[in-house]
Amino acid sequence: MANAEFGGLLQNSLNQNGPESVLFTLINLLPFSFFLTIFFLVLMFLSFITSADSNTTAMASVSSYKETGPITALKIFWGSMIGFVACIMVSLAGIEGVKMISNIGGLPALFFMILACFS
């Protein structure tokens, strides 16, 4: 496939379906695209789970009174709260809602973390 055709295909995918579709269009052009797609989705899932676990552990540690580590109930609480807010935002406003809540939620979290550092 010529470079002009390749770039045009990716540009069309971007214009018609958005930026997230460009990667899957690129993967579909490669050999063994079905297996690469499955592998990519598994890697995305593992990345998300690792990030979510780290975030819930950090929030539970900040809100815990124990010095040895966060209480499991706090991790479950914070994980449930994050999941609940994410589900509400995705169902009401889509991915743009998740982007908006992350930007809005970052400012109060900044002040909370500054206060936590001084305490």
- Rounded to the nearest integer, the mean pLDDT of the chain is 83
Position 1 confidence tier, pLDDT thresholds 50, 70, 90 = low
- One DSSP character per residue, 35-60 reads HHHHHHHHHHHHHHHHHHHHHHHHHH
pLDDT at 38: 92
Length of the chain: 119
- Residues near 30 by Cβ (< 8 Å), separated by ≥ 6? 36
pLDDT at 43: 93
Give the model confidence (pLDDT) of 23-65 as tens digits.
Answer: 888 888 888 989 998 998 899 899 988 988 888 888 888 888 7
Mean pLDDT throughout 83-94? Answer: 82
